Chain A
Amino acid sequence: MSLFVASLGFGLVTAAVLAIASVGFTLQFAVTDVLNLAYAAIMIFGAFIAYAVNQAGQSVWLGLVVAVAACALISVLLNVGVYAPFQRRGTAPITMVIVSLGMTLIIEFGVQAVSGGTAVSYTMGNGPTLQAGGLNLTGVQVVIMVLAVLVMAAVHGLLRYTKLGKAMRATAANRSLARNCGIRASRVITATWAITGALCGLAGVVFAIDAGSFDATSTDIFLILILAAVFLGGPGQAYGAMLGALVIGLATEVSAVFIPADYKYVVAFVVLLVMLGVRPTGLLGAPA
């Protein structure tokens, strides 16, 4: 029982990390129409930026801020330099995915070339341990969860109440119609790359904090979790991704109580394949 409750705690932390990553991924896909598989590579890029700041004797939290900015920048550049030119040429979606796989290799192994390929850890304290009803959480884990809740609230506020958020939703629904309605779609898309890139960087650093030690290829498997969460809720659905992240995060960690921890990703994988096969528009998307 206590193991179960403890795994629930881990599940909530994983869900928090996953929620930040998935919401960024799904918004990016919805507005820009790029299924950007390099997202996980940019996450680990962010994690290593924070590591560099941390190695320079600064706090990880300062590193987090730098990583968020760096990932927002690299995402915008990735769009301007690579994806947007391909899209302007009318490249098929499947070819865009191949391009994004190529970018994955470039970024992920570029990071590995610089970092050396060994696993590293941040130098940081875990904060006081909090106990509540059998849940054992470190202060840092609580901070991650609070961050996730804040991010979700911010995304909700953005989409719901700001002009930019409404423009993003309009662009996602129908880009050419949005353009005809006077929305400057290219600006909205650039802003989306910046915002989702920032979320990606944030997710990368909290992922690395949560993982303890990480190397350049650590997010390869995390991408499965992101995709599972995104497709569970429905690709392009921000609230769907939040729901998906909660379900997948809890399911993977709780399943680790019953099956060897090495196989905990199987749950996410099965969810993803079932969703792809049965209802590719996800739980919150309209049926095809």
Chain B
Amino acid sequence: MNSYYTLNLIIYAAVDAMACLGLSQQFGVAGVTNFGFIIFQAAGGYAAAILALPGDHANGGFQSYIGGWNLPFPLPWIGAAVVGGVLALPFTFLVGRRLRGDFAAVGLLVTAVLLNLLVTNYRPVLNGDAGLSLIPAPFAAPGFSTTSSGYQWAFAAGAVVLTGAVLWLVRRITFAPYGRSLRAMRENDTVADSLGKNLLSLRTAMLVTGGAIAGLSGGILVSYISTWSPAAWGYAETVVLFAAVIIGGAGNHLGAVLGAILVPVGFEEITRFIPTSNNLPPNLVPSLEWVAIGLLIVIFLWVRPQGILPERKRFIRLPPSADGGARGPARSPGTAAVTAGHGQPAVVLEARDVVREFGGVRAVDGVSFSVRKGTLTGLIGPNGAGKSTLLAMLAGTLATTSGHVIYEGRDITGQPAFRRARGGLVRTFQLASEFKRLTVMENLLAAVTGNRGDSLRGAVLGRRYWRADEEAAIRRAAALLERFGLAELGNAYAGELSGGQRRLVEIMRALMAEPSMLLLDEPMAGVHPNLARRIGAELVALCAGGMTILMVEHELAIMDEFCDPVVVMAEGRVLAEGTMAQLRGRSEVVEAYLVG
């Protein structure tokens, strides 16, 4: 074990660990599956190379490339990170809200395969298949030895320090409120969207951050090995990094470092000990290495999908319950119902001729109605009446085929869900939609808007910058937990709760967003009747405090007790509107729903 060997190992481990940290941030934390990750490392490598190399006529002009600026260290490495980050921008159209994550991943994979093919075949820009060589090491100059052991150790130390800095950065991002938003998006992007998270912006930030980290790792690598060619960054190299992150533990940054040491570095080392024999076919050992990587991925995803070091649970200490259960909504918007003109409260939300078609079927067929401020309006109807579809269109989760949605006097038909949520129009979902691998407390905190730490900049500025906002949010969440009797479950994973408890978490989470109007999709389904009654009473109290609620519900008893007015839907249309007592008197309503 000579020192050259040790150095080599350290530098490779540092570079791989850095790349895995970038990938872990994208895939493990934010749930952005970037199958083209390796092209960002490749871009960083080429950027560092052409920034550091002299013009391509040097050395007899045996290789051709663009650039050749002969820039001094550290500019090539900075350039590598910048190019890696900027390269991510064209891909943002793949990761918006529209495209399924697996399709976006396929797009990135295909891009990686094709870019490799193009660079291999086109020589003038980056010297094609042969790749670039004689890439200068940092500080390389005539008379300065870059092969001395002192220099090599300094290089290794530099690489390790930079990897440490990247580790520090991604941890700082992940442990901030911003990181919680990223993890919420990973768990369920539709729900995160409906809570005001801008998915496109979050994913773009992660593609760029991860791309810059990958680029820097590529820059460091080429400065060390002094060559860079398409053979070094085939699409399968991305799979190796994925294997490392999955095995180490996606979402745990130390796991990513461990995975980097076990998989890319470990494989390189193990195969050194395989005796070379002339009897073996030439490609046998490298081929079997790939087979082994594939096996590791599949076996680990089956046996231990959370990896060797799983994501750690974030315990949040609850403040002592000071105000004895905090009566009333934590911070109610407005106080009394605002009245307009004729003594009737003002209209908050209005649907005008809203239509939604699914392949020729009109699920919602020209619905018009309005919800007045401070009311707990019920929406009932038989299965398939279009209630949930309507709710989704009001919240922006689903686009309307035609018609308009007016909220607080403004036409919001074209607004995406996250903007409506930020404007105070927040929905819940019919199916369980809690962020499973976030604690109950984190589920609540994830819905808070306006936290200073809920942006990339705020996250990087650090805890001192956002602590006050965070503490206020925790106090608010703790008060809600107390009120709904879930205080002792604050640090349990939401995925481990009972069905009824999850419904509560969802309602509390929606309240944490400080909505002025709530859209609830069967909030009491599967909840114990006693608890349902308590939820109903809380909702009535919220409305008395000025909030407006539109609630889809099946239980007529609940409608009777809490909702006024009630809107009846059947076959995609509004059938009737009024108090339950009035509705019971109308034959068409009774026929459509109340009896049948």
Interface residues of B in 244-301 (CB under 8 A from A): 246, 281-284, 287-291, 293-298, 301
Q: How far is the CB of B287 from chain A (nearest CB, A)?
A: 4
Q: Is the CB of B100 within 8 A of A280?
A: yes
Chain A residue numbers with a CB within 8 Å of B281 are 113, 116-117
| Complex contact B298–A103 (CB within 8 A) | yes
B287/A112 in contact, CB under 8 A: yes
Given contacts A117-B282, A276-B104, contact A269 B110 (CB under 8 A): yes
State whether B287 touches A117 (Cβ < 8 A): yes
Tell me if A95 counts as interface (CB < 8 A to partner B). Answer: yes
Q: Are B114 and A265 in contact (CB under 8 A)?
A: yes
Q: Is the CB of B94 within 8 A of A277?
A: yes
In the bound complex, what is the Cα–Cα distance between A112 and B98 (angstroms)?
Answer: 38
Which of the 9-residue segments A14-22, A53-61, A192-200, A219-227 touches chain B? A219-227
Does B113 make an interface contact (CB < 8 A)? yes
Chain A interface extent, by class: 35 or more
Q: Which residues of B contact A109 (CB under 8 A)?
A: 287-291, 294
Which residues between 101 and 146 of chain B lie within 8 Å of chain A, taking CB atoms? 101-107, 109-111, 113-114, 117-118, 121-122
Q: Of A94, A113, A262, which contacts B283 at CB under 8 A?
A: A113
B578 → A minimal CB distance (Å): 36
Assess whether A221 is in contact with B283, with CB atoms less than 8 Å apart: no
Interface check B343, CB cutoff 8 A? no
Asked whether, in the complex, the Cβ of B94 is within 8 Å of the Cβ of A106, the reply is no
Q: Which of A117, A266, A277, A280 meets B118, CB within 8 Å? A: A266
**Residues B110 and A227 in contact, CB atoms below 8 Å apart:** yes
A86 beta carbon closer than 8 Å to chain B: yes
Most B CB within 10 A of own CB, among A91, A93, A221, A273: A273
Cα of A110 to Cα of B109 in the assembled complex, Å:
21
Asked if B235 is at the interface (CB within 8 A of a chain A CB), the reply is yes
Chain B stretch 334-380: residues in CB contact (< 8 A) with chain A: 358-359
Q: Nearest A residue to B32 by beta-carbon distance? A: A94
A260 to chain B: which residues have CB within 8 Å?
A: 121
Is the Cβ of A35 less than 8 Å from the Cβ of B106?
yes
Report yes or no: B106 in contact with A99, Cβ–Cβ below 8 A.
no
A105 contacts which of B117, B236, B358, B359 (Cβ < 8 Å)?
B236
- A102 pairs with B100, CB closer than 8 A: no
- Which listed residue (B94, B102, B118) contacts A97, Cβ 8 A? B102
Rounded to whole angstroms, the CA-CA distance of A73 and B94 in the bound complex is 35
* A275-288 Cβ-contact flags toward B at 8 Å (1 or 0): 01100100000101
Contacts of B288 in A (CB 8 A): 109, 113
Q: Which residues does chain B contribute within 8 Å of A106, judged by CB atoms? A: 291, 294-295, 298
A276 close to B94 (CB less than 8 A): yes
The contact string, 1 if C-beta is below 8 Å from chain A, for chain B 86-104, is 0000000110001111111
Question: Which of B106, B122, B242, B287 is A227 in contact with, Cβ under 8 Å?
Answer: B106
Cα(A105)–Cα(B289), bound, Å: 10
Given contacts A105-B239, A117-B282, contact A266 B114 (CB under 8 A): yes
> Which A residues are CB-close (under 8 A) to B359?
286
- The docked-state distance in angstroms from the alpha carbon of A227 to that of B108 is 12
Contact A105 B290 (CB under 8 A): yes
Contact between A98 and B113, CB atoms less than 8 A apart: no
Query: Which residues on the A side are within 8 Å of B105 (C-beta)?
Result: 94, 97
B110 touches A272 (CB 8 A): yes
CA distance A263 to B118 in the complex (A): 7
Q: How far is the CA of A9 from the CA of B359 in the complex (A)?
A: 38
Closest chain B CB from A110 CB (angstroms) = 5
Contacts of A221 in B (CB 8 A): 113-114, 117
Q: Complex: how many Å from CA A255 to CA B447?
A: 51
The smallest beta-carbon distance between A71 and chain B, in angstroms, is 18
Given the known A-B contacts A93-B102, A220-B235, A224-B113, are A105 and B291 also in contact in the complex, defined by CB atoms under 8 Å?
yes
Whether, in the assembled complex, A28 has its beta carbon less than 8 Å from a beta carbon of chain B, the answer is: no
Specify the chain A residue showing the minimal Cβ separation from B297: A102
CB-CB under 8 A from B93, the residues of chain A are 277
Q: Known contacts being A98-B301, A109-B291, is A280 close to B110, with CB within 8 Å?
A: no
Closest residue of A by beta carbon distance from B101: A94
Question: B residues within 8 A CB of A35?
Answer: 102-103, 106
Whether the pair A98, B242 counts as a contact (CB closer than 8 A) is: yes
Type the 1/0 row for A224-247, where 1 means its CB is closer than 8 Å to any CB of B: 100100010001000000000000
Q: Please indicate the chain B residues that have their CB under 8 angstroms from the CB of A269 in the complex.
A: 110-111, 114
Within 8 A of A (CB), among B159-183: none
Q: Are A98 and B107 CB-contacts (below 8 A) given A109-B287, A116-B282, A116-B283?
A: no
Q: CA of A282 to CA of B201 in the docked complex: distance in angstroms?
A: 26
B62 on interface, CB distance cutoff 8 Å: no
Residues of A within 8 A of B282 (CB): 116-117
Give A132 to B98 CA distance when docked, in angstroms.
Answer: 47
With both beta carbons as reference points, the residue of chain A lying nearest to B115 in the complex is identified as A269
B220-249 vs A, CB cutoff 8 Å, 1 = contact: the mask equals 000000000000000110010011001000
Q: Interface readout for A105-128 with B: 1 if CB under 8 Å, 0 if not? A: 110111011001100000000000
**Looking at the complex, which one of B121, B243, B293 makes contact with A263 (CB distance below 8 Å)?**
B121
Choose among A85, A99, A101, A224 the residue that contacts B110 (Cβ–Cβ < 8 A).
A224
Report if A30 contacts B (CB, 8 A): no
**At the interface, yes or no: A177 with Cβ under 8 Å from chain B?**
no
Residues in B neighbouring A93, C-beta threshold 8 A: 100-102
Nearest-Cβ distance from residue A54 to partner chain B, whole angstroms? 20
B25 within 8 A of A: no
* A113 near B291: Cβ-Cβ < 8 Å: yes
Which of the listed residues B98, B290, B294 has the most CB atoms from chain A within 10 Å of its own CB?
B294
Cα(A216)–Cα(B284), bound, Å: 12
A171 contacts B by Cβ under 8 Å: no
Give the distance to chain A from B20, nearest Cβ to Cβ, in Å: 15
Binary contact track A80-102/B, C-beta < 8 Å → 1, others 0: 00100110000101111111011
B531 CB to closest chain A CB (Å) equals 27
Q: How far does the alpha carbon of A106 sit from the alpha carbon of B107 in the complex, in Å?
A: 22
A113-B107 contact given A93-B102, A276-B94, CB 8 Å threshold: no
A141, CB-defined interface residue at 8 Å = no
Please encode chain B, from 18 to 51, with 1 for each CB lying within 8 Å of some chain A CB and 0 for all others. 0000000000000101010000000000000000
Chain A residue at smallest Cβ distance from B242: A98
Residue B5, interface by CB 8 Å: no
In the complex, chain B residues whose CB is within 8 Å of the CB of A95: 301, 305
Tell whether, in the assembled complex, residue A102 and residue B283 are in contact, meaning their CB atoms are under 8 Å apart.
Answer: no
Contact A104 B294 (CB under 8 A): yes
Give the complex CA separation of A218 and B284 in angstroms: 18
- B residues 490-513 near A (Cβ < 8 Å) are none
Q: Among A85, A101, A216, which residue has the most Cβ atoms of chain B within 10 A?
A: A101
Map CB proximity to A onto B408-424 as digits: 1 under 8 Å, 0 otherwise.
00000000000000000
Q: Compute how far the CA of A108 lies from the CA of B110 in the bound complex, rounded to whole angstroms.
A: 17
- Give, as a whole number of angstroms, the nearest-CB distance from B280 to chain A: 10
Chain B residues within 8 Å of A188, by CB:
none
A105 to B246, CA, bound (A): 16
Give Cα A109–Cα B292 distance, bound, in whole angstroms.
Answer: 10
Complex Cα spacing A83 to B104, Å: 21
Task: Tell me the nearest residue of chain B to A274, going by C-beta.
Answer: B93
The minimal Cβ–Cβ distance linking A91 to chain B, given in whole angstroms, is 8
30 of the cross-chain contacts (CB-CB < 8 Å) are A93-B100, A93-B102, A94-B101, A96-B102, A98-B246, A99-B298, A102-B295, A105-B290, A105-B294, A106-B298, A112-B290, A113-B283, A113-B288, A113-B291, A116-B284, A117-B282, A117-B287, A223-B113, A224-B114, A235-B103, A262-B117, A263-B118, A263-B122, A265-B117, A272-B107, A276-B103, A277-B93, A280-B99, A280-B100, A286-B359
What would 11 more interface pairs be, CB under 8 Å, given A93-B101, A231-B103, A276-B107? A102-B239, A105-B291, A109-B291, A116-B281, A220-B113, A221-B117, A224-B114, A227-B110, A262-B121, A276-B104, A280-B98
Chain B residues engaging chain A, CB cutoff 8 angstroms: 31, 33, 35, 93-94, 98-107, 109-111, 113-114, 117-118, 121-122, 235-236, 239, 242-243, 246, 281-284, 287-291, 293-298, 301-302, 305, 358-359
